[in-house]
Structure 1
Amino acid sequence: MVDPNSTYYSGQLSTLQKALSIVMEKAMMEKRQCVFICIGSDRSVGDSLGPLTGTFLRSIDPTLNIYGTLEEPVHSFNLKSVYKKIKKTFFNPLIICIDASLAEKDVVGSVILNKGPIQPGSALKKTLLPIGDYHILGVVNYLDPLPSAQFLNDTRLLTVYSLSKIITKIISEKELF
């Protein structure tokens, strides 16, 4: 039995899809619209996971409620105003945030689904608005004693691109390319 309140990793792609599907179906039964906030910036390779995923999702299904694309990213400077806009536009939406993450070396390349809000910017010691009912993290690089910003900048584009395709497939249940 798949429990949408548990944490799942990318080694369990079908389980991630099933868990997210249960979450989204429950939201539809409760008449809640799903809104995806794809957090990050295209100015740093490691931080571009969210906007790249938002762009992929929008290209596959323009009817999805997507905030955060390469063209219009959601980042630390506009997160609060985007959140306010979503709250004005949708009644009790189910907010699913997508963001890049740094973690231990052995989980780089993993996709993590968690229930509860995300704390964006925490790897860079930023204090931003905790946001979302669920969040999907793509682990783009590992933590190191060096400043985290350095590791976001030293992230391989292939890692971000691959994780973005996986997350897009989990959400849309469609192959990207």
Structure 2
Amino acid sequence: MWSFFRNKKSKDELDSTKMLSLQKYSKESEIEKISNKLKEVLSQTPKEIIFLCVGSDRSTGDSLGPLVGTMIKGKNIPFPVYGTLEEPVHALNIKNVLKEIHKKYGEAFIFGIDASLGDEGQIGYIFIREGPFIPGNAVNKVLPSVGNYHMKAIVNYLDPFSPVQSLNSTRLYTVTILAEIITEIITRVAFDVREPIK
């Protein structure tokens, strides 16, 4: 887990081409916007694209990544997917998984997916961002930064005194809806992007 909103940016300051929210009525147009951004990102890399879905199925708030991994794997997207409910990628195995990816695919393009904590009014936001993310940061775990690009969804508010409680008190409904939207975004573009390198 990682809180993207370290700089205390307001909702209005965030780039609308990289954000969508469950709270907006224009969900379809927002999904289309972020789908187009993802297609642009994936189309520009000549490297093998890997989807790395980080999180644990033992915590409701942290289960977003494994849920998305399971859903997109079920859609048979033409790219490798790491991190599912059956085989989650989490704090205890992420270093080994990254080694496995680099051994098998070399310098791959890793697209990370993870849950995030933010302000109460930001619950339901999904954003896509260039660069790596740091899994476990909100709960003070020291893990390697991951990915070339990433997508995160704010599943609950961040209680600075008890971030683990924020994760464990997250509604499964919120996580499931966000996972379904992210899966829809990825599925829309995955089959339009170039064939993966063998």
Using structure 1 for the length normalisation, give the TM-score. Answer: 0.90
Matched, 1:99 2:109: no
Change (3 A) 1:14 1:7: closer
Any stretches of 5+ residues in structure 2 without a counterpart?
Answer: 1-14, 22-29, 190-198
Listed as ranges, the matches of 1:1-177 within 5 Å are 8-11=18-21, 12-27=30-45, 30=46, 32-61=47-76, 63-173=78-188
1:67 partner letter: Y
User: How many residues are matched?
Assistant: 167
Deviation at residue 64 of structure 1 after TM alignment: 2.4
Runs of 4+ in 1 over 4 A off after TM superposition: none
User: Is the Cα–Cα contact under 8 Å of residues 132 and 147 in structure 2 kept in the other structure?
Assistant: yes
Deviation at residue 116 of structure 1 after TM alignment: 0.4
Query: Which structure's relative contact order is higher, taking Cα pairs within 8 Å and 6+ residues apart?
Result: 2
Change (3 A) 1:145 1:118: closer
Any stretches of 5+ residues in structure 1 without a counterpart?
Answer: none
User: What is the RMSD computed on CA atoms of the aligned residues?
Assistant: 1.7
User: Is the Cα–Cα contact under 8 Å of residues 6 and 114 in structure 1 kept in the other structure?
Assistant: no
Using structure 2 for the length normalisation, give the TM-score. Answer: 0.80
User: Is the Cα–Cα contact under 8 Å of residues 66 and 89 in structure 2 kept in the other structure?
Assistant: yes
User: Is the Cα–Cα contact under 8 Å of residues 17 and 37 in structure 2 kept in the other structure?
Assistant: no
Q: Secondary structure at the match of 2:44?
A: helix
